[in-house]
Amino acid sequence: MGCHSRLVGCVGETLTMSIFERTQTSLILKCSCGSVEMKAFDAAITSAVCYCDTCQRGSRELAALPNASSVQDLDGGTAYVLYRADRVAYSKGGELLRSLKFDETATSRIYASCCNSAMVMEFDDARHWVCIYRARFQSDAPALEFRICTKFTLETAEIPNDVPGYAMYPLGLLVKLLEAKIAMIFSPRYASSEGLAKR
């Protein structure tokens, strides 16, 4: 038995405290009409605006659904909050979720069909993170840290310089994703069936 399971199995206080902390930091994210809810536990990996062609097209198509609100900024970027896939779970209205997919891409955009709110952008393969549309957060969204794939924007687009912008994927983002992967491997939750994690 490794030291990790000794900690969880024998030190009850530690376990209780970690559950308490998790409860403290879980967020409820709702579609705009409130019929679909998802829960996000603990801290996000990061928050980023993406300007890639696929995100631009996805956000345009989502906004074209009846009564949908746009999740795209005027400069063409779409803002996301990235979470470990095992830290996000649908808690209400899962049957209302629909998927928007283009043939040639390996991503799907999940929206709530009740009010056509964009919920999550996820990868078809078993990536360890999901991108929640930042529009689903209130004032509780983590601070924006990156503007990525800016080379896909129109030359006329004025991209804000509030956070660093990168032509493609910055090393700082890749490091955060790798750290999340390592933490997830050593997390008890990884072994459970909870969350959007695929395996």
- Chain residues binding Zn ion by CB under 5 A are 31, 33, 35, 50, 52, 55, 112, 114-115
Instruction: Name which of 41 and 111 has its Cβ closer to Zn ion.
Output: 111
For Zn ion, the closer of residues 12 and 66 by Cβ is: 66
Q: Which is nearer to Zn ion, 1 or 171 (CB)?
A: 171
CB of 8 to Zn ion, least distance (A): 37
Q: In the complex, what is the shortest distance from the CB of residue 31 to Zn ion, in angstroms, rounded to a whole number?
A: 3
Residue closer to Zn ion, measured from CB, 4 or 151: 151
75: burial class by Cβ within 10 Å (0-12, 13-18, 19+)?
A: middle
Q: How far is the CB of 112 from Zn ion (least distance, A)?
A: 4
**HSE-CB for 67 with a 13 A CA cutoff:** 9
Task: Give, to the nearest 10 degrees, the angle between helix 12-24 and helix 3-10.
Answer: 80
- Residues, the chain, total? 199
Nearest distance, CB of residue 145 and Zn ion, angstroms: 15
3-state secondary structure of 134: helix
Phi–psi pair at 24, nearest 5 degrees: -60, -30
∠55-102-29 over CA atoms, to 5°?
Answer: 55
Q: Which is nearer to Zn ion, 85 or 150 (CB)?
A: 150
Minimum distance, C-beta of residue 76 to Zn ion, in the bound complex (Å): 11
Burial status of residue 74 (CB atoms within 10 A of its CB: 0-12, 13-18, 19 or more): exposed
